[in-house]
Structure 1
Amino acid sequence: MLFTLLLAAAVVPNGQTFACTPTRVWDGDGPIWCREGAHVRLAGIAAREIDNSCRPGQPCPRASGPAARDALVRLLGGPRGQTSTGHIRVAGSTMRCVSTGEAKGNRTGAWCSAPGIGDLSCAMIATGTVLRWERYAKGRCRSR
């Protein structure tokens, strides 16, 4: 059963399944703003920040922050404009997500599956713009 959020930007409890219809993207691993209220940080991957920096202690891909963001935007149906804060508007299909819990602040870490794409974290790794983050990947998205 899908869990519907009642509070905007509430963290979805660990293990809970929920729907996310993407409306905005910040960078290559999120957050993805969901029409239903959650802000999703994609689980198991690491991207450069939008300013091209890498956070200490996390994998640092070669691809730029904007390149990773643009790859995620393409997977979610392409750009539909930009907000005054720099977020890219998208109009992606509703995804089914499973929460991994809080991902700092009001973000929910999650594994999300999108129609026609499958696992979004694994699809992002396949773009070459993000890296699999062993610490959080938990056996998922392994190369074949």
Structure 2
Amino acid sequence: MDLLLWRHAEAADGIPDHTRALTARGLKQAQRMAHWIEAHRPKALRVLASPSLRTRQTAAAFTDDFRVVAGLGPDGSVADLLAASGWPDASGATLIVGHQPALGRLAALLLSGTEADWTIKKGALWWFTNRVREGETQTVLRAVIPSELA
């Protein structure tokens, strides 16, 4: 399985949190990363997004074919992200467009075995895959792409 974690792009400050829109800079970040994803995407990519406006706008820069999942919202947990994605047993690939701190905590769990407060920059993408070697399941970090390098 491939699991891509994409933090929403830069958004305007404001209240309520769920209605914060991407800034002009954020729209450019999302578009650049969407082009990178399109050029490198795995086959059969399922896209899941938080219900917040900024994550839906980020996902929409890549595709209109995404599903909004309530558990991926700003208050979502690592368990919510794992449940939505089906990691590591689902087939194909899943792209989650979400928020800190859950995305960073999931990245830490996948690479170190323990949740920790790691930061994923706004607009950045972390791409994981898993494999079995000599009977052992391994997590592999395939790419970390900040939006300015996309």
State TM-score, norm by structure 1. 0.27
Larger radius of gyration: 2
State TM-score, norm by structure 2. 0.27
